[in-house]
Amino acid sequence: MEIRPFKQIDLDGGVVIEGFPSVGLVTTIAATYLISSLNLDQIAAIDSPWFPPVSMIYAEKPKFPGRIYASAQHKIAVFLSEFTPALYLDRFIARAILAWARDQKCSLVISPCGVPTTEERPSTEKLLVHGVGTTERARQMLREAGIHVLEFGVVPGISGALLNEGRWNNFDLIALLVEAYQGIPDAKAAGAVVEAIDMLLPQIKLDVSPLYREAERIESRLKAFREQAKPVEAPRPPAVYG
């Protein structure tokens, strides 16, 4: 994995949010919304010979399929990608994210994760977000934010790899888990994750209602990008969740 910087900003004591796709595109939708709401600027790209050779075109500009957006004002950086990396890359991506966060002297990494569900849910039902922390400080942050701390379970993919790396490095890292529909973009689950991030981070104030209103537009755009990337994406076996 290679981080290619475009510009340097001060993120000392800040927060890094991971935004590679998970079930229901929960992570990508949430990351996209954070970037838009907080007006984050692209400061770097994350690249690898094993990433698909595609360019994502936004506002007439070509962009790497893996990017980092940030704000010195909010002390927040967001990793964003619309493509799903091959399963064997998850550990390498997790290590690259954590290493970059430590290099930037950030104090916390948050990794959202969609967990598959097949059950129908009422449109008015508020989704429950579970949290996992690598340190007692991270777990206390979850409790103070009113987020349920998961006692038993399995966290797969980049989120699971980040939890292991964060625990080994004694670094504050939080995974946020929410049930999401598999195979379709789930904006409601993404909204629940954004609300949880808002509760965790006092330096920002997010209004989630526009996310739901704009969900159809966001989902259509992400679907189009993923369809274009499919011919060059490496195949990925289905994940198993607990």
* R_g of the chain computed on alpha carbons: 16
Q: What is the share, in percent, of the chain residues with pLDDT greater than 90?
A: 55
> Pick from 52, 79, 30, 22: which is nearest to 238 by CA?
22
Residue 215 has pLDDT above 80, yes or no: no
- When pLDDT is cut at 50, 70 and 90, the band that residue 206 belongs to is confident
Distance CA 225, CA 220 (A): 9
Sign of the CA dihedral running 80, 164, 195, 114: positive
Q: Please tell me the predicted confidence (pLDDT) of residue 195.
A: 92
pLDDT digits (tens, 9 = 90+) for 186-203: 888 888 999 999 999 988
**Residues contacting residue 227 through CB under 8 Å, at least 6 positions apart:** none
Q: Strands 2-5 and 41-47, how do they pair? A: antiparallel
Distance CA 42, CA 221 (A): 19
Residue pair 191/158 in contact (Cβ under 8 Å)? The answer is no
- When pLDDT is cut at 50, 70 and 90, the band that residue 239 belongs to is very low
Q: What is the mean pLDDT of residues 52-79?
A: 91
Residue 39 has pLDDT above 60, yes or no: yes
Distance CA 179, CA 192 (A): 10
Distance from chain centroid for Cα 29: 8
Q: Please tell me the predicted confidence (pLDDT) of residue 6.
A: 94
β partners of residue 18:
none
User: What tokens appear for 235 in the block?
Assistant: 């195949």
Q: Please tell me the predicted confidence (pLDDT) of residue 131.
A: 96
What single-letter amino acid sits at 115?
V
Distance CA 117, CA 179 (A): 6
- When pLDDT is cut at 50, 70 and 90, the band that residue 234 belongs to is low
Q: What is the mean pLDDT of residues 7-20?
A: 95
Distance CA 231, CA 185 (A): 19
Task: Looking at the chain, list the stretches that DSSP marks H as alpha helix, in order from N- to C-terminal side.
Answer: 26-37, 90-103, 136-144, 157-168, 187-200, 209-213, 215-229
Distance CA 136, CA 109 (A): 14
Q: Please tell me the predicted confidence (pLDDT) of residue 242.
A: 41
pLDDT digits (tens, 9 = 90+) for 68-127: 999 999 999 999 998 888 899 999 999 999 999 999 999 999 999 988 876 766 655 678
Residue 214 has pLDDT above 70, yes or no: no
User: What tokens appear for 98 in the block?
Assistant: 């954590």
**Residues contacting residue 197 through CB under 8 Å, at least 6 positions apart:** 17, 30, 34, 110, 112, 176, 206
Task: Looking at 149-186, list the stretches that DSSP marks H as alpha helix, in order from N- to C-terminal side.
Answer: 157-168
Q: Please tell me the predicted confidence (pLDDT) of residue 219.
A: 56
Q: What is the mean pLDDT of residues 164-184?
A: 92
Q: Which CATH number fits domain 2-231: 3.40.50.10900, 3.90.180.10, 3.40.50.1220, 2.60.40.10?
A: 3.40.50.10900
Global model pTM greater than 0.95? no
Q: What is the share, in percent, of the chain residues with pLDDT greater than 70?
A: 85
Residue pair 160/112 in contact (Cβ under 8 Å)? The answer is no
Residue 240 has pLDDT above 60, yes or no: no
More confident residue, 184 or 164: 164
